[in-house]
Structure 1
Amino acid sequence: MKKAYILFLISGFLLGSCSDFDEDINKNPNLPNQASGTQLIANAQLSLPGLASSPKGSSMAQYLAETQYVGLTLYPQESTSFYGYYQGPLENLQTVLDAEDLNAADGPIDNQLAVAKILKAYYYWNLTDRWGDIPYSEALQGADNFTPAYDTQESIYNDLFAELKEANSMMVSGSITNDIVYGGDMDKWKKLANTIRLFMALRLSEVDPAMAKTEFSAALSAGVFTSNDDNLVFEHLADANNQNYWYSQVVERNREWWALSENLVEEMKPVNDPRLAVYGDPARETGEYTGLKFGEEDNIGTEEFALLGSKIFAQDAPVYLVTYAQVLFAKAEAAHRGWIEEDAETNYNMAVEASIEQWTGSSDGAGDFLANPKIAFDAGNALEQISNQRWVHLYMFGYEAWSEWRRTGYPNDLVEPNGNEIPTRLSYPDNEAFNNEANYEAAVGRQFNGDDSIYGKVWWDE
């Protein structure tokens, strides 16, 4: 017993001293004990490709058909979690915005805050367009509020417009460090903020045309993208620590699970679209581009259909998020609607050219492509033509293309697999019904008459 008592005393002493001992021995004098503001911003940027690189997103826009394990392309009624965005990039960005001790050695503090605001707005815009009303004004408070209320999508849009304008106005001269997308170039961040505003404004074309026109014109005047050099692109590396999502799926896991959809191939192949050779690889059996019917469950395989392109799933393939071609398509549509005094055809032609240059590395084939009677601008069919070419351009950012389909109705020939209509939103995470019951039920009741269905419509989807 005496021996046991002595051991108990020794262990008690060690445990009591452990915290001080660990604190001293685990400190590295050569490393900061907490992340800097720009390091947190960089960490938030690492989540950007996840906004686009998604089989579910691709299924919403019907770019890719499943060659086996057909599931997503049948549009099952299922929940989709947004927790990762709140617990990851949004939390990082809010930490920057709440910080009282940002280091000016990483660049002007106002610029750090401005970039954090822009990225935060961009993430929230993506979230609200997918789910509808979401936690916003009461979110990201940690232990102070585990059950945030859901803000209406309309109020979120209004606040995001204001946040982007404020971010734009607060920028000063000087760059920031650790910026992995724009290298600290604040002129490009300013253009990005205005370009996001432009796209958000266009999204309101059916629900509030007057506001859409006003915000669109203001964003355009403030200065948007002027070339592909301005594009928000996430550049992956030929390295396992920062590689393309699709590489991990197709190459590392040996999954030839995705073929180009029949709709996509039939939109591109008959007009000799030069982007098709980038988007997919020809069928091994025939050497031809043959699309697989979206949602097909029986006549599927990997030899007779064009599969996801090797340039798309390359380890270091880039992810295009916000692009100059989108700006030009938006301007073409705005001109067609009479919002701006520019020529719709000119902007349409420039948009197609910029898209071809973005995807193929050269605009050499744009002239012949635009000369095709099926592609040449037709003022009497402008909205459909602009929308269809924008859909082709947005390949692999399915969620964004899906939002544009919901707004415009184009392309108007997408299929309903097994009679299932294309969803019009994502359902909230299952856990919300338990973890945040009152606010979840209020949001579902307010928007969708109590039914958290994938066929409810978000605010701007008239």
Structure 2
Amino acid sequence: MIKLNRKEMKKIIIPIFAAAVLLGAGCKKEFFDINTSPNSPTEVSVTPQVLLPRTLHNVGLRVGTGFDYAADWTGYWSRSGSYGQSIELESYNITSTTLTAQWTNWYDILTDVNLMEKKAQASGLPFYQGVAKTMKAVGFMYLVDQYNNVPYSKAFDFVGNITPGYDKGEDIYADLFVQLDAAGKLFASVTTMDAATQASDIMFKGDLTLWRKFVNTMRLKLLIHESQVVSSATVTAVVAQITADGSGYLGAGQSALVNPGYVQVDTKQNPFYNTYKLSALGVKDTYNRANNYILKKYFGPDGHADNAVTPGTDDDLRYKAVFSVVDTKLAAFPSATYDYVGTNFGEVVPNSDPFRAVNQSDVAGPGLAKSPTQSQPVLTSVESLFLQAEAAQRGWITGTPQTLLTSAVRESFTYLGVPGGAGAADAYLALGIPIVDYTGAANKVNFIVMQKYLALIGLANFEAYVDYRRLGVPTDLPLSLNANRINNVIPLRLQYPQSEFNFNAANVAAQGTINPQTSAIFWDK
């Protein structure tokens, strides 16, 4: 089911875990309504072929529009000056009622994934089984990376465990490697693909090689996330599995993108475009704006946009792709320097400030919001190449780190449609300023991750939040300017939702006292 509103809507939490996730399918008819009647159970009649496009679309929806808070906390985006404060998010005072849709929406998706896997196994459909195991790894990665310990092994045992216990985050990660290895082997076992299955695969159209590359990229992503704690034995074992598969990773031009047939119709547009650019009903996003922090990084040492005064001096031209020119130019500020204007996260902008709302750049520039019918990224070739560059720098995989880094930056410029593409990327990397000086970088892993940070805005906002927690990159990221922040810093995790405290009390209590300011995800050292 498609939910394309800019802000996440709070769900009515049903007083048992199973009902809360199982009844998520009973929504109004949209793209992938799997009910004959919205009030009738669907498990008996639904097929993997019906569940697959629904699942892939919803994963794309969550990845593309579910992590505004991560974009805000990591210096990508900020609140428009015409809106009031978002006290909880801007003060970092995270409670059990903050961002609860992260929990419910991912478990909704994973309920479909679990059902698809059961149906596929019972019917002898290895392709659908492989997809289910792969998307299980995606969904639970996001849950662990936000909450650490979560219900996993008993999460969908609705008969035997209506109040499931929690598995440790590190144990879940370990089993996700098992799931992904099984998925790769299932894909390798498929010899034929019927047209109906190809049509239901709205990500790779039944291309088994791309599915195996996606599996391998996900394995590498999990290793990178736990880079500070993972054992050399685990790295060796997982890389050996990737090597044995023989498909490699997602490369240039091989992004995991979903598209069920997005059209310029209400509730059926591309999620990112609909949410952050313009809805089919003509509603613009007037809330999310460019953050001055990353704008300054793009502008380079002179701190100004590319303009007639300092033409092309040191700019990273991707700012023109990820942000938009202000809707309204102020007569008092006619220079092209003011084509792109940002805000500071948490700052209360006085009414007298000339740069408010339409005088600030939106977050859906032409390289991100290309059209209402565009495909929705789940994991891009850009991110994959950066993961490979870091893994090579750590000595985990073969390849020259700087070569892979250059390929990643080139792919970023190309993907975003920056004029000149790879050539413009090469010119940027040749500027000779510290942010592009790989050779002179004291910490080359951090250097690669900083370049990754500059490349993934709008494509993988959550990845920046992961990297900041595991490595502290960017190293100069400013904290919120909100006066309510006091001594708080960027949270290490989210708090469990209130529904868990209400209806799964014993199991959530067993996790101990959780403080988002001090309770870290297992890989955050």
TM tier, shorter chain?
A: 0.7 to 0.9
1:75 aligns with 2:92: yes
Equivalent residues of 1:66, 1:73 under 8 A apart: no
Q: Deviations over 1:313-349 (max 9, x none)?
A: 5533443331222232223222322333432211111
1:50 aligns with 2:62: yes
The aligned counterpart of 1:437 is 505
- Secondary structure at the aligned position of 2:378 is classed as strand
Q: Superposed, which structure 2 residues align to 1:238-257 within 5 Å?
A: 238-246=264-272, 247-248=274-275, 250-252=277-279, 253-257=283-287
- Residue 451 of structure 2 aligns with an amino acid whose one-letter code is Q
Equivalent residues of 1:202, 1:212 under 8 A apart: no
Matches of 2:461 and 2:298 in 1, distance apart? 17
Q: Under a length normalisation based on structure 1, what TM-score does the superposition of the two structures give?
A: 0.84
Larger radius of gyration: 1
Q: Superposed, which structure 2 residues align to 1:76-225 within 5 Å?
A: 76-79=93-96, 80-81=99-100, 82-85=102-105, 87-99=107-119, 109-171=125-187, 172-175=190-193, 176-177=197-198, 178-211=200-233, 213-215=235-237, 217-218=239-240, 220-221=242-243, 222=245, 223-225=247-249
Q: Deviations over 1:168-211 (max 9, x none)?
A: 11222223331111111111111111110011011221112414
Equivalent residue for 1:368, pick from 427, 435, 446 = 427
Matches of 2:201 and 2:339 in 1, distance apart? 42
Equivalent residues of 2:271, 2:376 under 8 A apart: no
Gaps (5+ residues) in structure 1? 1-24, 27-31
* Structure 1 or 2: more helix by fraction: 1
The aligned counterpart of 2:28 is none
The aligned counterpart of 1:262 is 292
- Residue 50 of structure 2 aligns with an amino acid whose one-letter code is Q
1:307 aligns with 2:340: no
Matches of 2:493 and 2:256 in 1, distance apart? 25
**What is the CA distance between 1:62 and its match in structure 2?**
2.4
Matches of 1:64 and 1:315 in 2, distance apart? 21
Gaps (5+ residues) in structure 2? 1-35, 38-42, 301-313
Q: Larger deviation: 42-51 or 95-104?
A: 95-104
**What is the CA distance between 1:100 and its match in structure 2?**
6.9
Report how many aligned residue pairs link the two structures: 424
Q: Under a length normalisation based on structure 2, what TM-score does the superposition of the two structures give?
A: 0.75
- Secondary structure at the aligned position of 1:281 is classed as coil
Identity over aligned pairs, percent: 23
**What is the CA distance between 1:248 and its match in structure 2?**
4.0
Q: Superposed, which structure 2 residues align to 1:442-461 within 5 Å?
A: 442-443=510-511, 445=512, 450-461=513-524
1:291 aligns with 2:377: no
**What is the CA distance between 1:69 and its match in structure 2?**
2.6
**What is the CA distance between 1:385 and its match in structure 2?**
1.8
The aligned counterpart of 1:6 is none
Equivalent residues of 2:166, 2:507 under 8 A apart: yes
Equivalent residues of 1:244, 1:317 under 8 A apart: yes
Cα distance 1:40–1:226, how it changes in 2: closer, same or farther (>3 A)?
closer
**For the aligned residues, what is the CA RMSD?**
2.6
| Divergent runs of 4+, >6 A | none
- Secondary structure at the aligned position of 1:335 is classed as helix
